[in-house]
Each structure stands twice: as C-alpha cells, then as structure tokens.
Chain A
Amino acid sequence: MFQKQIMMRRVLYALIPIAALSVWLYGPRVLFILATSLVAATLTEFLFERAKGGKTSEAVLVSGTLLALSMPPAAPLWVVALASAFGVFMAKEVYGGFGRNIFNPAIAGRLFVYISFAALMGQSFYQPGSFGQAAGSLFGQPDAISGATPLAIMRDGGSVPILDLLLGTRSGAIGESSIVLLAAIALYLVATKTAQWRLIVSTLGSGAALCIILWMAGVPGALPPQSLLAGSFVFVAVLMSTDPVSAPKKKGAQWAYGSLIGASVIVIRSFSLFSEGTSFAVLLGNSFASMFDRMASQSAQKRKAKTEAAAKEAGK
C-alpha cells in the first residue's frame, strides 16, 4: 500500500527511541496520540492519492509521527487528529502530494491547532516521569502550574537544572525534550546521509550565536543560553529543518535557510508574545527555501560564466 522510501524509513527508525522515552515520561497516553496522528495523516493522504491515482508515501508516516511528538502530552485526541489531517491536507496534498509541498506538513498542522486552541494547548502540559505517574495517574493529569515549560519559567526569570534539560526530564511537548537522544539521532541521520548536516549546524549555530549575543548585550527580554536546550529548538533543528522536501537543495541556500530559521527562533522567543517560536521560524524558512535555491544557482552560474570568460581570455 505504501510507496517504499528508504530515507523516510530511516527517520522512522530514528524516532522510535524518542517515542519509547516519551512513553516513560508521559505514560501510555502518548501511544494513543501517536496512533491517532498516524491514522488521521495516513487516511487523509490515502483518500487523496486514491482520487488522483497515486500511491500513499511513507513520508506521511514521518509527518504523522513528528506531529504527534510535537503535541503537548495532554492534548485532546480530536485536536491531534485535526492537526494531523489539516497538515497533510492543506500543507501537502493540495500542493500535489509528496515532493511538491512548500511547507512542512507536521509544522503546519501543529501551528494550526496551536493558534486555534491556544488556551487549551497551553494547559495540556504536565510533569514527566515514571510512565506519567509523576503527574498523578498513568494517563497523566494536565497541570498548568507544575506543568510550566522551561521556556515559560526562564521567561519569568527562573532557572531550570541543566541536567534535566539534557536528559529531557522536564515538561514540554511529547518528543522535544531529550537533548541527548536528539544528538544521537542527529548523528545517525547525518551518518546515513538521511539528513543534511549543513541544515542542522546552520540552524543551531545561528540560533546559539544570536542568543548569546543578545544575552551578553543585556537586551531586555533576552533569554539565558541554557534556553537553547529548552523548548523545541534542538528537536526542530534536527528533525524539522532537515525535511528534504521543504528545505533547499543547494549548499549556500542551505546555510542561509538554517541561519534564517535559527535567528528567527531566537527573535520570536525573546521579543514576541509567544514563548516558543520554532514553528513560525520553520514556516518562515520554508517560504524562502526556493528563493534561496534560486539565488544560489544564479550566483553559481555567474561564477561559472566568469571563470569561462577568464579561461577564454587566458586561451587567447
């Protein structure tokens, strides 16, 4: 039924450890969210592709998984289903399906529900630990106070232990928290050439640079450098900005794309009403991706023409 896509499979394998860890963090509820998201995404794509006579891509499984991992753990299942179906429908199928989408479907779906149900989503975080029991029951209990995400805490001037940030034992979206795991996944994806290292490095690098500059300069609203480990910045840098379809293909364009995303994340985090800006940043990057590609290929052509002219000159 699925179109075979080796790269997408590798991403799926890489996501298994994250899913496993998040079950430990937030309880069996995570599995329901994952299943809902996958079913909604696959069904949407299947219905469309059947009408068009195409094949369902395995990429839709990646989108569905990524979307589930970016939801808060107590998100209602209907919200997850809506986000997943909307993302695949509006950000992927209307553009013509796999390989033609401008925007990352998982991010589009996530943002749609985050904007629509801001209050509901904001209250859907809870304390992680021992299969969700840290929050009171196996299925977790949303708690606006103890569930405050590290970014919100830092915004209010508090601090969060670095070890918690690294291991991921802090509240947040389902799959975004463990920096150690994400680093391992990044290595695996880069080693198997599934993800482009330039995208990861440029996103992380520009974000870190801007964050540290703002912090050093003492700009009001600037967050401490530890904030780079909080929120979904690393998750997005490793898994979202590297989406092979919506990211640019040329070398120079990839540097520009990553830098734009990283810098926008920090700007939105520090100066906007939203405490997290990674989704906006990725969509912003997506919309510039093809322009960056075009600029890169134009400058390459110019350079080529120049060297050719120089060669001709030398030949004379």
Chain B
Amino acid sequence: MKNSKTLAILKDNLWTNNPIFIQILGICSTLAVTNNLRNTVVMTLGVSFATALGSMTLSAMKDLIPRKVRMIIQVLVLSFFVILIDILLRAYLPEVSKQLGPYVGLIITNCILMGRAEAFAQANKPLLSFWDGLTSGLGYMAVLLAIAVVRELLGFGTLFGLRIMPEGFVTWTIMIMAPSAFFLAAMVMWWAKNKQAARAAKAKAPTQGGKA
C-alpha cells in the first residue's frame, strides 16, 4: 500500500502532473538558465533540494502553523533553504554562482516550491512530502536538461563545455537567447500532452467498445 503510493507520486511528478509541461510552473527559470548544461544541473539540483527539504519541514510543522499566516511561514522556511543553497554555491562553485546571478535567490519565487508546500505538504506526512518535493524537482530537472542539451549543443556547439560539433559548425545565436526556450518548452509541452492524450484515448477505447 505504502509502496504503491510512493510510486504513484513518482509517476505523477515525472509525467502525468509534471511541474513544467502540465502545471506550467517554474517557467522563468526554464527561460533563464537553460542555455548552458552546467548551470541547468546546478539550478535544478538546487530547486530539488529546496523543494524536498522545504516540503518536509513544512509538513513536520504543519500543525503548529496558524492557517491565516501559513503562506508567510512557508516562504520563511523555503527561503531558509534557498539561502543555504546560495551560500553553498558561493563557497564551492563561485563561478557558477556568478553566472546564475540572481536566479539562485529567485528559486524562492519558483512556483514549484510554494505549489508543493500548499498542495502536498499541507496534508501529508513529512517523509512522503520529502519524496514528493524531490520527485517534483526531478520532473523539473528532466525537462530542463532536455531543453538545455538542445540549446547548448546548437547555441555553443558544446555539452558541459566540451566541444561536440565539428569545427565548421555555425552556432545558432538564437539558442543562447531566451526566446528559443519558449519554442523548445512549448514543443516539449506539445509532445507530452499529445502523448498523454493518445494514451488516454487508448485506455478509453476498449471500455467503449465493450459497451457497444
């Protein structure tokens, strides 16, 4: 019973209710950081970390929070973890920290964090909330990494800074700029929704056939 629920959460956050292509949350960072794989990895790890620990903490203290001020408390707790990430990055990855600039601090405004705190951690046990936050972060990470691979490969001809494309390759300047993430994120959404719609239609068809 318990196991099936964790699996259901995993599937939900990675696919059927993915934060990017179904809930359309966290789009600002999708546009801002995905032109470079290294930054994307750091950013998405940060979001996963903050969402997971934030959800767990909030879930553990949910009975202590007065309902009327819960949003304020949620922001407070989440920002604690975001600041932690910011300090860690500055200490150990100063270069990435400089490139990401304000976006690390802006993780707090990433709707995925507040979304999971409100939608899940409010009504569930701490461990399960941790799992939910983590898998939400992974769902976010999967989409962003896919976009970042395309953008860095075409925009710089590299992956993780390593040259992949041949010497004569003409880089696509537009892939470095934010608009390309709009196209790519939209294409991912389109692909995923089509896929899910096709699956839903398939699942429905046999029962309908049975009725007829």
Contact = CB atoms under 8 A, between A and B. Distances in A.
B173 A94 contact: no
A310 interface: no
A115 B190 contact: no
A94 B172 contact: no
Nearest to B177: A115
Residue among A116, A117, A120 facing the most chain B CB atoms (10 A cut-off)? A116
Nearest to A78: B170
Chain A, interface size: which category?
under 10
Residue among B172, B174, B183, B190 facing the most chain A CB atoms (10 A cut-off)? B174
A24 interface: no
A90 interface: yes
A184 interface: no
B173 A116 contact: yes
A118 B173 contact: yes
Interface in B46-93: none
Given A90-B183, A94-B190, A120 B170 contact: yes
A117 B170 contact: yes
Residue among A90, A115, A120 facing the most chain B CB atoms (10 A cut-off)? A115
A117 B190 contact: no
Given A90-B183, A94-B190, A112 B174 contact: yes
Majority SS at the chain A contact face: helix
B108 interface: no
A97 B170 CA distance: 31
Contacts of B190: 94
A71 to B, nearest CB: 15
Interface string B149-192: 00000000000000000000010111101000001001000100
A111 B174 CA distance: 10
A116 B183 contact: no
A117 B183 contact: no
Interface in A255-309: none
B191 to A, nearest CB: 12
Nearest to A117: B170
Contacts of A112: 174
A115 B183 contact: no
Interface in A111-158: 112, 115-118, 120
Nearest to A118: B173
A123 to B, nearest CB: 12
Contacts of B174: 112, 115-116
Interface string B12-53: 000000000000000000000000000000000000000000
A90 B172 CA distance: 17
A94 B183 CA distance: 11
A116 B186 CA distance: 19
A116 B154 CA distance: 10
A115 B175 CA distance: 10
Nearest to A86: B183
Nearest to B175: A116
A120 B170 CA distance: 8
Contacts of B183: 90
A94 B172 CA distance: 22
A116 B175 CA distance: 7
A284 B173 CA distance: 21
Interface of B: 170, 172-175, 177, 183, 186, 190
User: What 7 A-B pairs have minimum CB-CB distances, sorted nearest first?
Assistant: A116-B174, A116-B172, A115-B174, A116-B173, A117-B170, A120-B170, A118-B173
Given A116-B172, A118-B173, 8 more contacts: A90-B183, A94-B186, A94-B190, A115-B173, A115-B177, A116-B173, A116-B174, A117-B173
16 contacts: A90-B183, A94-B186, A94-B190, A112-B174, A115-B173, A115-B174, A115-B177, A116-B172, A116-B173, A116-B174, A116-B175, A117-B170, A117-B172, A117-B173, A118-B173, A120-B170
Interface of A: 90, 94, 112, 115-118, 120
